[in-house]
Structure 1
Amino acid sequence: MKKIIYIFTALLTIGIASSCKKFVDINDNPNAPTSVDASTLLPPMLAGMARGNWYDSRYIGQYVQIWGAPTALNVWDQEGYIPGSDSGGEMWRTVYFSLGQNVNLMMQDAIAGKKYDYIGVGWALRAWGWQNGADEYNNMVIKEAYDPTKLTFNYDSPDYVYAEVVKDCQTALNYLNLAINTNGNTSASLAKGDYMYYGDLLKWRKFVYAILAQNTLHLSNKSTFNADLVKKYVDSSFVSNADNASVQCTGSQSGDANFWGPTRGNIPSFRQSDYIVKLLDGRILASATEQDTLADPRLPLLLARSKDRAFRGVVAPLGDPNTADANISIPAMAGATTANSGTPSAKYIFNDNSRGVLMTYSELQFFVSETLFKKGDLQGAYTTYINGVKGALDFVSNPPIGSSLTGTQKYISQTAIDSYLAGPSVRQNAAALQLSDILQQKFISLFVWGAPEAWSDMRRYDYSTSIFQGYVIPTTIYPDNAGKQVYRLRPRYNSEYIWNVPALKLIGALDADYHTKKPWFVLP
């Protein structure tokens, strides 16, 4: 087992501590305003949320076998990590840098101007950050996070972080309700900086309830878990794909293009997994060999064909075993046209101007289906399962391109959708429904954009192959894992392992196998 060596420059830290406060006190930059209008701060924060989700999804997507590397023994395909690297630390950066003090500054201006809409949104962003951060890293810094007198920060326990999510959501709801009572359902002021919901306060309120539902669901292994609470929150949240939480991407150049689009070029280095191919071609859900009549109509939109036109995938960590007809990179460009512009585009959300997706209606329906199934309400579970499948099909058929979620031209015909819903890959009644059906359809619905949520599911069920049928535990595991599977990401290297080593030691994050330790939310 390799030793992990961290360098901490104590003398440099002491020097900074003794001089920093005085420097800040006397050196205000006249070109950098200390007070900024809330509308100018919100857009980059929303972009940061999407960035945090996207960047870490590259590696989490390998953990859950959405995709893999084309070459054998890739570190992430072995459920490992790269020491001394920020890879897997982007959500940490999002919480403390992209959001961080920017949320404080936005709310500072909003409080002074009684902009209840921006205050509510600020607390919603905080809650979203804590939720996603805790899901990936377990321990987070909350109490000391914004103390300017500190250079090292103690981590709060994960139960405290999850409780903070609920607290911040309730505060967000209080201010959003106050904004609705003051301004009505739409805020022109918020619309100036809001590239998610364009000032629609009702949709922002639904988003907060979606965070609460996710927070509650993720604690499903706890004795205090309340399935009815998940349903209550979802019933107050998204009612269709028109409510989905997604961030506008202009696509005019690399800096404002969708992460999965051709201009950014982030995904072509990956290859679709054998697992996702088998979920879509009917071999798992339909329990049959690959046949076009059983294939999911989403298959040609989500995945790429090999040169011989067959769909194949890689098996982690073996790389691409197909030498004669090797897998091509995903996504494959198609001659399809967007529903809005009529111009050539990529498929699914692989356009430069496709919106950056954070949460969807179908995802929430699967939340409820899972919890009702475990509660014993099979009919309720089946109804929401079908809602989830229909919502996911609709999402792919009408992907969030540009600023609209709908259009006259669909990527999947209604005939194909109806055929799939009536086919063997979809359960036809409540008695036939299994937990694996719910979670595997949810896995498909999360393809590309929702890898972190898929990983939360797999960890809650300890990578069970009876639930995630067709998932194959890697034959070669990263040496530091000591044969165990991965359960958490390490905190961001360039902030924590450089400057915050004493606090890391207290939570065991200097251990070589730290990333294999189960996070609090999956424990009983």
Structure 2
Amino acid sequence: MKKVITYIAGALLLTATSCNDFLDINQTPNNPTSVPPSVLLPSALTGTAFANNNELNRFASTIMSVTAGAGGSPATYDIYNTNGGDFQNQWRFEVYGGALISYNKTIESADAIGAKAYSGIAKIMKAYTYSLATDVWGDVPYSEALLGDANTQPRVDKQEDIYKGTAQIQGLFDLVREGIADLDAPSTVKPGADDLVYGGNLANWKKAGNTILLKFANTISRKEPALAKQVIDEVLASDNYIKQNSENLNVRFGSSVGSKAPVFEWAAQEGQSFRNEVMISTNFVNLLQGKNDPRLEKFVTKPTGSYVTIVNGFRGTLPQPQSSWSRFSSYVTGAAGEGPVRLVTNAQRAFILAESAITLGTAGDAEALYQEGIRASMQAAGLTAAEITAYFTANPTEVTLTGTDAEKIEKIITQKYIAAFGNGLEQWNDWRRTGYPALPAHQNAVGIDGTRPVRAQYIDQEIARNPNFTPNIFSNVKVWWDVD
């Protein structure tokens, strides 16, 4: 699946010129010198969603015991076997040479005509996309990235500096804040249908920006609890963040050939040749069945009337026929590939605040927020209000926070893991931070030390061409914010 990166939204190609080398972006007479932000923004948004939903998601969903590898790359991920040959397209063409360049070009184009609405959205999403890169790889090019011929060997900034900033570097928190401020400024033009997330609703973008601040604070909260609390308190004081499912930061793809969400291509029964490299993990089905969770029927297919799965790391004869396998349902893929890709959600926000109420002492009733997260996830999955109420009535132990703080956090993160179904990167981030949910070790595990990866290795091409990269940072070396 490393070569399944044939689709990037057409307009994205207007901004990413020669990508033969990382960030070696050359201008040619064949490329337009000026592209309006209304053309650039949709390609940037789909670029971020593509990066989140494609091979990095296939990797994370597998190592997080949501899917199991039945062949190809997922079969190696499933036994924790990763190396610097993985994710080269994701690094070069999806993140740096794709979405991030598009956001830079959107900001430049918007600033040239005073379109602050566009630059605000682009700054918020540029920060989100950089967080994706640093959460996966750790220290990455940031302050000197995206400079093209001006610097083809950018320095590698510390993850701590990328998040927090320094006197010389604007951190991710401040980049989001700047984007939100831009949304409040006068704008010569504003997005409409070209805004694939909110259709030009800037109020919702402000809520999304503040909720991304919550996400960032949550990510670093074990390493920097005082800063995390400060940011969360700031957002709570604004009272302007995602509070309902209709405000989720979701990106929809198309349903025609070449425009579908990546997960449809690699996981759906109706997808392409890579679809038979993954199936749903027995571990995930067992987890939800153990909780009598009605979302299982909404999340996972069962073509034969029963769930057909394998345990992670399984090396026996696969179930036949392949058409019987349980896979991601249309909740994740869309009926015909449209998704949506769920980047930041109402349920995620509720679980973040439930956790921080316990660990950081931020405002809010942890149990009420926990239950709010479960309800939001169940509603998004398609359960009716009556079905949700029935589940709460029949399963009081599951929906109540009791015991020690550690036991409460385990319940919150486990439910957050379930709610994040289809977004393996968010599931992986939380597991690395907290150690939850408690997942069985995969069978036949190898890898660096036989343990679940806690980062991706730098790609071989970057180590070879950029002396600023430190070689041999293996998958068992924690990133800065991972202190579990």
Q: TM-score range by the shorter chain?
A: 0.7 to 0.9
**In the alignment, which residue of structure 2 is the partner of 1:350?**
334
Say whether the 8 Å CA contact 1:62–1:68 is kept in structure 2: yes
The gaps in structure 2 that reach 5 residues or longer are: 1-19, 165-170
Give 1:476's match in structure 2, choosing from 426, 438, 444: 444
1:366 lines up with 2:351 in the alignment: yes
AA matched with 2:240: S
**In the alignment, which residue of structure 2 is the partner of 1:523?**
483
Deviations 1:396-419 (A, max 9, x none): 11xxxxxxxxxxxxxx34332221
Deviations 1:21-40 (A, max 9, x none): 9xx7xx851x4221111111
TM-score by length of 1: 0.76
Deviations 1:170-204 (A, max 9, x none): 1101101114xx68xxxx73114211111110111
CA shift in 2, pair 1:137/1:347, >3 Å:
closer
**In the alignment, which residue of structure 1 is the partner of 2:286?**
278
**In the alignment, which residue of structure 2 is the partner of 1:139?**
139
Say whether the 8 Å CA contact 1:245–1:358 is kept in structure 2: yes
**Helix, strand or coil at the partner of 1:357:** strand
**In the alignment, which residue of structure 2 is the partner of 1:79?**
80
AA matched with 2:252: Q
Say whether the 8 Å CA contact 1:65–1:273 is kept in structure 2: yes
**In the alignment, which residue of structure 2 is the partner of 1:240?**
244
CA shift in 2, pair 1:321/1:238, >3 Å:
farther
Equivalents in 1 of 2:47, 2:377: separation in Å? 25
Deviations 1:427-460 (A, max 9, x none): 4544467222211111111111x21111011111
Give 1:442's match in structure 2, choosing from 416, 424, 429: 416
The gaps in structure 1 that reach 5 residues or longer are: 1-15, 286-294, 334-345, 398-411
Give 1:151-166 correspondences, 5 Å limit.
151-163=152-164, 164-166=171-173
AA matched with 1:478: V
Q: Percent identity?
A: 19
Deviation of 1:304 (Å): 2.9
Deviation of 1:232 (Å): 4.6
**In the alignment, which residue of structure 2 is the partner of 1:297?**
294
CA shift in 2, pair 1:247/1:332, >3 Å:
closer
Give 1:85-484 correspondences, 5 Å limit.
85-86=86-87, 90=90, 93-147=93-147, 148-163=149-164, 164-179=171-186, 189-225=190-226, 226-227=228-229, 229-230=231-232, 232-233=234-235, 235-257=239-261, 259-260=263-264, 264-265=271-272, 267-281=275-289, 283=290, 285=291, 295-305=292-302, 307=304, 309-311=305-307, 313-319=309-315, 328-331=324-327, 346=330, 349-351=333-335, 352-375=337-360, 380-397=365-382, 412-424=383-395, 427-431=398-402, 434-448=408-422, 450-461=423-434, 463=435, 467-469=436-438, 471-479=439-447, 481-484=448-451
Deviations 1:237-271 (A, max 9, x none): 11101011111222122334563255544544312
**Helix, strand or coil at the partner of 1:453:** helix
**Helix, strand or coil at the partner of 1:522:** coil
**Helix, strand or coil at the partner of 1:510:** coil
Say whether the 8 Å CA contact 1:213–1:229 is kept in structure 2: yes
**In the alignment, which residue of structure 2 is the partner of 1:45?**
44
Deviation of 1:50 (Å): 0.9
Equivalents in 2 of 1:455, 1:81: separation in Å? 15
Deviation of 1:123 (Å): 0.8
Deviation of 1:209 (Å): 1.0
Deviations 1:113-170 (A, max 9, x none): 1101011112112111111111111111112113323232220111111121112111
AA matched with 2:394: G
Deviation of 1:324 (Å): 8.3
Equivalents in 2 of 1:162, 1:133: separation in Å? 12
Say whether the 8 Å CA contact 1:48–1:99 is kept in structure 2: yes
Say whether the 8 Å CA contact 2:206–2:241 is kept in structure 1: yes
Say whether the 8 Å CA contact 1:306–1:325 is kept in structure 2: no
Say whether the 8 Å CA contact 1:52–1:93 is kept in structure 2: no
AA matched with 1:302: F
Say whether the 8 Å CA contact 2:207–2:240 is kept in structure 1: yes
Say whether the 8 Å CA contact 2:232–2:362 is kept in structure 1: no
Equivalents in 2 of 1:241, 1:320: separation in Å? 41
AA matched with 2:418: I
AA matched with 2:247: D
Equivalents in 2 of 1:200, 1:108: separation in Å? 22
**Helix, strand or coil at the partner of 1:259:** helix
**In the alignment, which residue of structure 1 is the partner of 2:6?**
none
Deviation of 1:86 (Å): 3.0
Give 1:57-68 correspondences, 5 Å limit.
57-68=57-68
TM-score by length of 2: 0.82
Say whether the 8 Å CA contact 1:94–1:129 is kept in structure 2: no
**In the alignment, which residue of structure 1 is the partner of 2:10?**
none
Say whether the 8 Å CA contact 1:84–1:493 is kept in structure 2: yes
CA shift in 2, pair 1:224/1:379, >3 Å:
closer
CA shift in 2, pair 1:422/1:379, >3 Å:
farther
**Helix, strand or coil at the partner of 1:146:** coil
AA matched with 1:516: N
Over the residues paired in the alignment, what is the CA RMSD in angstroms?
3.1
- Is 483-492 or 321-330 further displaced after alignment? 321-330
Equivalents in 1 of 2:224, 2:28: separation in Å? 52
AA matched with 2:334: F
**Helix, strand or coil at the partner of 2:358:** helix
Q: Which has the larger radius of gyration?
A: 1
Equivalents in 2 of 1:79, 1:146: separation in Å? 32
Equivalents in 2 of 1:314, 1:111: separation in Å? 52
**In the alignment, which residue of structure 1 is the partner of 2:167?**
none
Equivalents in 1 of 2:449, 2:47: separation in Å? 35
AA matched with 2:31: A
1:503 lines up with 2:477 in the alignment: no
CA shift in 2, pair 1:423/1:272, >3 Å:
same
